[in-house]
Amino acid sequence: MNIALIKQLDGSKCANANCVAATHAMLVHTVTNGAKAAVAANHSSPFTVQVRDNYGVYCPGIPFSAAASAVQHLASVTMTPRFGITWDMFSAIIDAGHPADISIVYSALHGTPFDSCHTYDGRHSVAVFERRYNVNLNGTEFLVGDPLADHRYTWIPLGPQWWPASLLKKAAALSANGAVNCSIAPIPAGAPTKKLVCATTVRTEPSTVTGTLVGSLPAGTTCTILSSVTGGFWSLTCGGSKTDNVWYKVSAAGMVGFAPVGRF
């Protein structure tokens, strides 16, 4: 994915309330592979201001529905707001290759390395790009773009960070009474594809131990490669003996999951 930070605090009108505008700009940049929502060297983008101006209301926060309408008008990118969905549904959407904007409550981040504003406790919006299994943590984490993570002070992180799934889930649940409110973007343009040399199983995690079986794919299947991750070690024979711990997250034949790179 072509992922870039687009900061919220860019000095423009309503910047303090432009989290949804900034996260939608990040998603447009990603799904168009950088063709739209250009990013300056200081991590600002005129697209954020354009979303606000299209909404035409100054200066409360921008609802997901209004931001989606602006993005459609400005960039011909279709966002799909979803409200009150389950955490498992949201995770499945990200796993399927769709980045998304998610509503959180910022107080959940206080006391963590991901807190970019110690004095803010209210609702906020962050962009979520992908999910991976971290073998060192023995759990999953999400790549999150917080528009406040602009390193304006030395203690503030810069750019997208890998958040533990438990933290994102907690922050989202506080904003949506235990559920998830989000706005879903299309799968990014130009996602690479690879053809399977040998048949493979597809698992929920990149591990033959913790990953449960999603299904299987025959040799010759063309898969969309959503990401490449490290996970549990595998050994197989496919054009020779192979051992490694690198997996592809793939989408094919209506299923999404992880398969050893040695099958391709």
Domain boundaries, the chain: 15-184, 193-263
Per-residue pLDDT at 228: 81
Q: Average pLDDT for residues 107-133, to the nearest whole number?
A: 95
Q: How far apart are CA 247 and CA 134, in angstroms?
A: 12
131 pLDDT band, cuts 50/70/90, is confident
**Residue of 101, 115, 3, 94 whose CA lies nearest to 51:** 101
Confidence of residue 168 (pLDDT cuts 50, 70, 90): very high
Terminal CA-CA length for the chain: 20
Q: Taking residues 75-94, report their average pLDDT.
A: 94
Q: Which of 250, 53, 7 is nearest to 261 (CA)?
A: 250
> Quick one: which of 187, 188, 183, 138 has its CA closest to 165?
138
Q: How many helices (H) and strands (E) does the chain have?
A: 5, 12
pLDDT at 177: 94
How large is the average pLDDT for residues 31-55? 94
Left, alpha or beta for 3 (phi > 0: left; psi -120 to 50: alpha)?
Answer: beta
The pLDDT of 70-99, averaged and rounded, is 93
C-alpha 139/C-alpha 41 separation (Å) is 34
Which pLDDT value is given to residue 246?
87
d(CA 208, CA 247): 11
Going by pLDDT thresholds of 50, 70 and 90, the confidence category of residue 71 is very high
- Output the pLDDT for position 30: 94
110 — pLDDT class (breaks 50, 70, 90): very high
Provide the pLDDT for residue 240.
87
| Average of per-residue pLDDT values in the chain | 93
Banded model confidence at residue 218, pLDDT cuts 50, 70, 90: very high
pLDDT value at residue 188? 85
Per-residue confidence at 160, pLDDT binned at 50, 70, 90?
very high
Cα-based distances in Å from 54 to 34, 57, 67, 191? 21, 9, 9, 30
Mean pLDDT value across residues 49-70: 95
Residue 190 has pLDDT above 80, yes or no: no
Is 98's pLDDT higher than 80? yes
User: What single-letter amino acid sits at 50?
Assistant: Q
Q: What percent of the chain has pLDDT over 70?
A: 100
Note the pTM of the prediction, 2 decimals: 0.80
User: For 217, how many CA atoms within 13 A lie in the half-sphere containing its CB?
Assistant: 28
In this prediction, residues 119-124 reach a mean pLDDT of 96
pLDDT for the residue numbered 187? 87
CATH superfamily for domain 15-184: Cysteine proteinases (3.90.70.10)
